[in-house]
Structure 1
């Protein structure tokens, strides 16, 4: 059994040996918070991204997305003179450490799509210099890191390749990056040692694994959550078929009963990671992750189930249905892979009109909460934004999450 290395520091230190660090994908939801944390610890950080408009906004001290604490940290990093932005890979020759945080999506067949990842790595290899440490933080299919190690060796590139996956919750990255244990691995003993020293110097607990163990560890983390949500969503559907209140059942069976501590609330399981990573784990594994495939069918089928239940009680052809929240989760401005959009699409086929609102996601077609409460005949909660918590209405309200007061139609 591998024992975690204890955290040697109780307070945030400044690193004793600052490095020049490039964060590839540095304007994104993973790369930007990590770059800010590294800069705050004393490293000299260059955010590298092809999104020039996003980088320009960052250079002006404005966060391009919601991230708790980042609005105040970003200007401090810029004022320190340690934070820089670049759109080209030519800056890599000046770096000691290169960190890859780009997204790795699945294709239309729900298989890992590595083409963009490979293209970025090819550019990195063309601009790298001897002695660099390459840390991959992106979610990758098992075996990808060892493949990178073989490519580096075949080309005679004198760089160390490490895989250290991120495990942050979007919106809480700055806090979690300074507290969560870090899974570290390397294609060589030297790469593992260098990656371990890098994260330990931030005062973080590090847990050494082989590269494939670290890759699986990241995929397991998100797949476990996705499957857990599917269990709850399946139970929610079963309760609905019996005209039972799932939220009352949930509260009853979890109250002072520790064996149910891991029982998730029901609700939309969307976002850019959970489904994607579950499908990456399922791909090319000879149907060994049948739980993942089933979870996808349950979670992705929830919007359609809600509409079918509504049709049993309401004539939707004459109704206006309002969706409260279009982000993929509460208090977030990221609409990527949000099931609220799938719900809107399904509703559009059956309803007279569908209207949407969200305090974080800006869309000229969205209406205000006040307009929605006036014009909608039926309300459905799509995201658990705090702004909705005290919402009062006598309209029929569907709240799968058990977040709002209201009567289930």
Structure 2
């Protein structure tokens, strides 16, 4: 379920590559058609050849028919679990998706929840099945991949396996041992928190780097030089990152889920949100102090949420664009990967802009041939990150 998405499709390809027969059920008809034509609906390293081979050999196909879940021995739920318009966790996303397929689920199947969920959603799923008289083995086995590295990490990272019963845990472990030999067993609630803790830890770590950058920047110092000194041949600080827009579909959302789980008593998480979500405004204010923005056309380089990605979901580059639109004469944007009608080719940006701002650290921008000033808080161009 959700099998043609950025988490579901790589997982299906990984299982197909290990000789299993995989059906991808998805409500996105366009993505289903592309997959069945052996075309990737999004960019993912190493996925193209695996998709072609799997489709040609009949080991993988996609469908919009919800009845397809009834033919599977194992059903894996890989759907988005968003927060609502009030930034509260949507606890109904997984149960609602399952409700569309309840008529086709059958006793004896293994149901694996793969999405990052609010603590307690596994229990809600078990209760839903029980209310409808279904006896399935339920496991929570969260995905742990990074976009762009899925088909490396699925085979190399340990897999968390959590279930209420030994039978369900054994079946889930057997399934994922097709991909990796490293299995870590937990209870469902432990695993739900483990995934949220992981994403929130990354979000807080990025917030720390962004706060460090602001502090150094306000003092007129280049944080890139300081970060190099901190991390150079010093293992205890090796993971201190450079600044950047901590965004994407997971980190903020999962920090909000963790805060909600703890009755919004999460000062550290909320502070990280203020820092990371406030970074575009801080940057625009610094630019306004340094440049005569009302007279300048600003070129925004990159709108994806991270470098080398075609995924613009929750990208703070779009918030940066909105803020610059208010302050600058004009803003023009480009991205070598993202499909967006508002984007223009890079040569046009270089020809029309007076000032360039790096929105995404795409490798194409590391050695950009231009005399225009480039504001690069990511440190990609190695010109320093002072603004």
TM over 0.5, shorter chain: yes
Q: Deviations over 1:276-314 (max 9, x none)?
A: 111111114123321111101100000000000011111
Structure 2 residue corresponding to 1:137, chosen from 94, 105, 114 = 114
* 1:340 correspondence with 2:317: yes
* 1:295 correspondence with 2:272: yes
Corresponding residue for residue 176 of structure 1: 153
Structure 1 residue corresponding to 2:72, chosen from 86, 95, 105 = 95
Corresponding residue for residue 81 of structure 2: 104
- Provide the C-alpha distance between the structure 2 equivalents of 1:248 and 1:273, rounded to a whole number of angstroms: 30
- State the SS of the aligned residue for 2:160: strand
How far has the Cα of 1:376 moved from its partner?
1.1
- Provide the C-alpha distance between the structure 1 equivalents of 2:295 and 2:342, rounded to a whole number of angstroms: 21
Corresponding residue for residue 19 of structure 1: none
Corresponding residue for residue 7 of structure 2: 30
Q: Deviations over 1:76-111 (max 9, x none)?
A: 000111111110211122110000000000012211
Corresponding residue for residue 48 of structure 1: 25
Runs of at least 5 residues in structure 2 that lack an aligned partner in the other structure:
none
Aligned length: 386
Aligned 8 A contact 1:391 1:405 in 2: no
- Provide the C-alpha distance between the structure 2 equivalents of 1:405 and 1:218, rounded to a whole number of angstroms: 34
* 1:268 correspondence with 2:238: no
Corresponding residue for residue 258 of structure 1: 235
- State the SS of the aligned residue for 2:284: helix
- Provide the C-alpha distance between the structure 2 equivalents of 1:30 and 1:111, rounded to a whole number of angstroms: 23
Corresponding residue for residue 225 of structure 1: 202
Corresponding residue for residue 163 of structure 1: 140
Structure-1-length-normalised TM-score: 0.92
Structure 2 residue corresponding to 1:362, chosen from 339, 344, 357 = 339
Which stretch of the first structure deviates more once superposed, 367-376 or 89-98? 367-376
Change (3 A) 1:248 1:270: same
Runs of 4+ in 1 over 3 A off after TM superposition: 405-409
Corresponding residue for residue 394 of structure 1: 371
Q: Deviations over 1:150-187 (max 9, x none)?
A: 33234331210000000100111011111110000112
Structure 1 residue corresponding to 2:298, chosen from 318, 321, 331 = 321
How far has the Cα of 1:367 moved from its partner?
2.0
- Provide the C-alpha distance between the structure 2 equivalents of 1:376 and 1:316, rounded to a whole number of angstroms: 12
- Provide the C-alpha distance between the structure 1 equivalents of 2:133 and 2:97, rounded to a whole number of angstroms: 19
Corresponding residue for residue 185 of structure 2: 208
* 1:197 correspondence with 2:174: yes
- Provide the C-alpha distance between the structure 2 equivalents of 1:205 and 1:124, rounded to a whole number of angstroms: 32
Aligned 8 A contact 2:18 2:178 in 1: no
- State the SS of the aligned residue for 2:108: coil
- Provide the C-alpha distance between the structure 2 equivalents of 1:191 and 1:58, rounded to a whole number of angstroms: 30
- Provide the C-alpha distance between the structure 1 equivalents of 2:341 and 2:117, rounded to a whole number of angstroms: 36
- Provide the C-alpha distance between the structure 2 equivalents of 1:310 and 1:202, rounded to a whole number of angstroms: 48
- Provide the C-alpha distance between the structure 1 equivalents of 2:123 and 2:333, rounded to a whole number of angstroms: 46
Aligned-CA RMSD value? 1.3
How far has the Cα of 1:129 moved from its partner?
0.9
Structure 1 residue corresponding to 2:102, chosen from 125, 133, 137 = 125
* 1:306 correspondence with 2:283: yes
How far has the Cα of 1:125 moved from its partner?
2.5
- Provide the C-alpha distance between the structure 2 equivalents of 1:281 and 1:396, rounded to a whole number of angstroms: 40
Change (3 A) 1:405 1:375: farther
Which stretch of the first structure deviates more once superposed, 278-287 or 221-230? 278-287
Which stretch of the first structure deviates more once superposed, 257-266 or 234-243? 257-266
- State the SS of the aligned residue for 2:103: helix
